[in-house]
Amino acid sequence: MIQTANEKLFGTDGMRGEAGSFPLDGQTIRIVGASLARHMRETLGRTPRFISGRDTRESGEWIESALHSGIVAADAQLASAGVITTPGVAFLTQHFDFDAGIVVSASHNPYQDNGIKIFSPSGKKIDAPMERAIEQDIFAGLEVPRTEAADLGRDAEDDYQTAYIDHLAAGFPRLELTGFNLVIDCANGAASLLAPRLFHGFGAEIVAINDEPDGRNINHDCGSLYLDKLREKVLQEKADFGVAFDGDADRALFVDEKGAVIDGDAALWILAQHLEWRGELSNKTVVATVMSNIGLEIALSSRGVKLDRTSVGDKYVLEELLRSGSELGGEQSGHIILPQKSLVGDGLMTTLFVLEAIRERNVSASEAVRGFTRFPQVLVNVKVREKRPFENVPEIAKAAKVIENELDGTGRLLLRYSGTENLARVMIEGQDQPAIENQANELAEIIRSNLA
């Protein structure tokens, strides 16, 4: 594939691709390390300090070493926290006064993929100008001498991991889990050692599954994308609660004691009630994306809490949280952000918050979700030849208006285009599954006849 200097390599969640192929080949990764160090030195006016961490993919160690080689070639300082979660690196960056934190991970992707995310000390990803500067160096073929980073700064890995676990535990001094039965699906990822260690510290009785990473089994039929095994184990063990992380543990999904899934929307409902009860939902607002179920909006409204919606992506949720001064936001996928605690979604922290909410109210997980009813949802994708604004196509605009009038506050229509494919997405939520299926299919056919 021919690359041009106008192409973007950094997306909303860093740089990602197949390990070993551009831009995740050794030479390009060394350029990323050297370029980051060079531009940070220019910005700071001094030698920058970096910390890195990785998940359990077999490519993680050599990618991290290539980054280190580039950083060392640019005369910067670095350390490694080893295998650790993405939010763990974000915390360490700020706590130990590093100038940036680098995560080698592809989150929920299969093992063949990997990625690079770079955080500022605030916990936010580096800004767009820095990303563009690194991309320009890549396309310009910045020359980086091969440097053996003999001392990769890995002698303190355990200290860094311990600091992160201690930080999480210190944030929940009242949480007591003695006698509480907890099943943890670690996705054979970064949480495999950290999660059992953390929850054992609160006295929980732990059953860990998918906690034996071999470099290739990360996210494979396990973790937050595949909840069946977690549900089975919770029911088999008669456990009180189950949690599943993704590969880098920046998100978490849950299963209650009856085997029902608690997704990100349900977790937001639990946490909103908890924060409101503690007087920590000051502006009575929760931030979610356009994909959050209307059932969440209705449940929050019953308590006088507003739901603000953003475009899909935790980046947009965080931007709105900071703009509005809200205390809670997240996505259906289980990526929850509590900006008073961290600007990065943290699956371990989210789990502790949910457990705190359940234990302080002295209710079961299934009881904690009461009041939230997930409405039936239909999603239909339509291939299109062009992405004209829907409101500019009279037949589509008219049909959409008819459906919105039929739903009349008891449901929701969302029309949008895919950001990466020539697809129109029709999403309808409502109380009657057959009715919304018919509405979605009829609207999809109108879109197809006008835009396909």
- Residues β-bridged to residue 425: 381, 416
Tokens of 281: 């939902």
Right CATH number for 171-368 from 3.40.120.10, 3.40.50.300, 3.50.30.50, 3.30.43.10? 3.40.120.10
Tell me which fold the domain 377-451 belongs to: TATA-Binding Protein (3.30.310)
* % helix, strand, coil for the chain, step of 5: 40, 20, 40
Residue-level pLDDT at 13: 79
Contact present, 357 and 273 (Cβ < 8 Å): yes
Residue boundaries of the structural domains of the chain: 10-162, 171-368, 377-451
- Give the span between the Cα atoms of 163 and 158, in whole angstroms: 8
Residue-level pLDDT at 420: 66
Contact present, 352 and 270 (Cβ < 8 Å): no
Of the residues 65, 105, 107, 192, only one is catalytic, namely: 107
Contact present, 413 and 406 (Cβ < 8 Å): no
- Residues β-bridged to residue 288: 309
Q: For the chain, how many helices (H) and strands (E)?
A: 14, 18
Tokens of 316: 């947009």
Is position 418 annotated as part of the catalytic site? Answer: no
Q: Using CA atoms of 156, 160, 165, 167 in order, give the dihedral in degrees to the nearest 10.
A: 140
Residue 207: helix, strand or coil by DSSP?
strand
From the number of C-beta atoms within 10 Å of its C-beta (0-12, 13-18, 19+), residue 181 rates as middle
Q: What is the pLDDT along the chain (452 residues), one digit of tens a residue?
A: 233 345 689 987 789 999 999 999 999 999 999 999 999 999 999 999 999 999 999 999 999 999 999 999 999 999 999 999 999 999 999 999 999 999 999 999 999 999 999 999 988 889 999 999 999 999 999 988 877 654 555 678 999 999 999 999 999 999 999 999 999 999 999 999 999 999 999 999 999 999 999 999 999 999 999 999 999 999 999 999 999 999 999 999 999 999 999 999 999 999 999 999 999 998 999 999 999 999 999 999 999 999 999 988 888 999 999 999 999 999 999 999 999 999 999 999 999 999 999 999 999 999 999 999 999 999 999 999 999 999 999 999 999 999 999 998 789 999 999 876 889 999 999 999 999 999 999 999 999 999 98
Residue-level pLDDT at 44: 95
- Give the span between the Cα atoms of 306 and 220, in whole angstroms: 37
Under CATH, to which class is 10-162 assigned? alpha beta
Q: Which DSSP letter does residue 24 get?
A: S
- Give the span between the Cα atoms of 9 and 131, in whole angstroms: 8
Contact present, 54 and 63 (Cβ < 8 Å): yes
Q: How far is CA 373 from the centre of its chain?
A: 24
* The 181-185 sheet, strands edge to edge: 205-209, 181-185, 241-245, 252-256, 261-262
Residue 322: helix, strand or coil by DSSP?
helix
- Give the span between the Cα atoms of 330 and 222, in whole angstroms: 22
Fold matches, 171-368 and 377-451: no
Tokens of 218: 């990360």
Contact present, 86 and 249 (Cβ < 8 Å): yes
Residue 256: helix, strand or coil by DSSP?
strand
The position carrying tokens 């700071």 is 44
- Give the span between the Cα atoms of 278 and 176, in whole angstroms: 18
Residue 426 host element (H or E):
strand 423-429
